[in-house]
Amino acid sequence: MQTLSVNLDDRSYPIHIGSQILCDSDRLSGLLSLAIKGKQVALFTNSLVNNLYGSAVYQALSGYSVDVFEMGDGEAHKSLDTYNQAINFLMEKRHNRTTCLIALGGGVVGDLTGFVAATYQRGVDFIQIPTTLLAQVDSSVGGKTAVNHSRGKNMIGAFHQPKKVVIDIDCLSSLPTRQYAAGLAEVVKYGIIADAKFFAFLEEHRQGLMDKDEQILAQIIMRSCEIKSEVVAADEKESGVRAVLNYGHTFAHAIENLTGYGEWLHGEAVSIGMVMATDFSERSYLLPQGARLRVERLLEDLGLPIALREPLSAEKMLQAMGMDKKTTDGQLRLVVADAIGEARITGDFDADLLKAVLSEYCE
Ligand code: NAD
Ligand code: GLY
């Protein structure tokens, strides 16, 4: 098992990454108990993940009073309704401020649990045990918590860092291929925004990635968490550099919004969005010719979409992109790449070129 730290002064926390963690009750118990200060624990999960891994976590918590909150599965349940049910549940079970919530599941469970933890009795502790690749490399780290509003995704949320993240790579063996690929999109993102060598490593190990080779998985999860931790440590509340973690996401959020959150998984929309962002960067800035092709090939080889299936209105795309949380004083800002391994946020771009790129990809 390897451990790295997210360095945020008194909010610093460890990320443990390894295999055979959940099946080793003593080891898991040792890891969890170090981060739980009281006797009460609420395990947040959904029925699918609970059936797969719930009993392993429950067993490791034998010294605690544990209540299990099972929420519905899917993005639709990352909602104020579920939030309300969770608060009722904690109150009914008389959880006090020393309680610790544990999120066992993908990003939906993690984001909802984190937001409940951020707000219940003005804030309680929580631990992340992410079970999807996307949650292991992205959503469980960094303290962004949220629920959705009918008018927009993640519109109600808070920054609230977990006390610990425990990543068991073995959870990925039960993950459906499409969900696994969606997580790989975020892994590719780290290569594009921060580490050219890592991008080349992914290119070299495409087959190992498709085969879920355990050693390669351990390396890519570790490197992804390292990059995310460094960015978060530099800019916890996204006043600047953290925005680079949203490479391709302004396009992706608009695609998800216009296609109704059902057609594409988040990681799939990010894959298409990164192709658009890379093409736009290649045509606008110094990104060398050929970068888009490399990005496209890698994403495609990893089983990800690189284009829309049905046309969308470019005009509506542009409007939906304006809803992005990075928009400041009505000015759309985009994350662009200057090289593979280097990205930045800018409001200074050619709006006509953006429209042209959107027309090409959408219509
Ligand atoms: P998800 O949580 O919906 O999980 C995907 C599916 O896989 C679900 O059906 C889930 O029940 C199932 N599942 C989970 N673990 C499994 C396993 N080991 N084996 C089999 N099935 C399993 O989706 P996700 O992709 O993990 O997360 C998406 C969410 O994450 C979105 O709401 C997105 O907004 C959020 N997100 C948050 C951040 C952040 O920084 N907080 C970053 C990226 C994404
Ligand atoms: N997923 C983007 C962030 O955590 O900032």
Q: What are the boundaries of each domain within the chain?
A: 2-174, 177-362
Which strand (E) or helix (H) includes residue 360? helix 351-362
pTM of the predicted structure, to 2 decimals = 0.97
Structurally, at CATH architecture level, domain 2-174 sits in: 3-Layer(aba) Sandwich (3.40)
What is the helix, strand, coil percentage profile of the chain, to 5? 50, 20, 30
Ligand 1 binding pocket, CB closer than 6 Å: 46, 48-49, 52, 73-75, 78, 105-109, 111, 131-132, 134-135, 138-139, 142, 144, 154, 171, 174-175, 179, 182, 266
**Which residue has the least CA distance to atom 37 on ligand 1?**
139
Query: Which tens digits make up the pLDDT trace of 214-261?
Result: 999 999 999 999 999 999 999 999 999 999 999 999 999 999 999 988
Ligand 2 binding pocket, CB closer than 6 Å: 138, 142, 144, 242, 245-246
Query: Which tens digits make up the pLDDT trace of 98-156?
Result: 999 999 999 999 999 999 999 999 999 999 999 999 999 999 999 999 999 888 889 99
Structurally, at CATH architecture level, domain 177-362 sits in: Up-down Bundle (1.20)
Place of tokens 């304006």: 322
Which strand (E) or helix (H) includes residue 281? helix 266-284
* Predicted pLDDT of residue 213: 95
* Predicted pLDDT of residue 329: 72
What's the rounded Cα separation, in Å, for the pair 236 and 159?
Answer: 8
Q: Which candidate, 129, 59, 142, places its Cα nearest to that of 101?
A: 129
Q: DSSP of 174-232, one letter per residue?
A: GS-HHHHHHHHHHHHHHHHHH-HHHHHHHHHTHHHHHTT-HHHHHHHHHHHHHHHHHHH
What's the rounded Cα separation, in Å, for the pair 107 and 202?
Answer: 23
Tokens of 247: 């490479």
The secondary structure of 52-118, three-state, reads: HHHHHHHHHCCCCEEEEEEECCCHHHCEHHHHHHHHHHHHHCCCCCCCEEEEEECHHHHHHHHHHHH
What's the rounded Cα separation, in Å, for the pair 279 and 38?
Answer: 51
Q: How far is the CA of 76 from the centre of ligand 1 (A)?
A: 12
Q: Which candidate, 53, 61, 246, places its Cα nearest to that of 132?
A: 53
Exposure string of 13-24, with b = 16+ CB inside 10 Å and e = fewer, is bbbbbbbebbeb
User: Relative to the CA of 142, which ligand 1 atom is closest?
Assistant: 40
Q: How many residues does the chain have?
A: 363
* Predicted pLDDT of residue 225: 98
Q: How far is the CA of 111 from the centre of ligand 1 (A)?
A: 9
* Predicted pLDDT of residue 286: 76
Tokens of 350: 């050619």
* Predicted pLDDT of residue 262: 82
Q: What is the mean pLDDT of the chain?
A: 95
**Which residue has the least CA distance to atom 42 on ligand 1?**
139
Average pLDDT by consecutive 10-residue portion of the chain (363 residues)?
A: 96 97 97 96 98 97 96 96 98 97 98 98 98 98 95 92 98 97 98 98 97 96 98 96 96 92 92 97 88 97 96 94 78 93 93 95 92
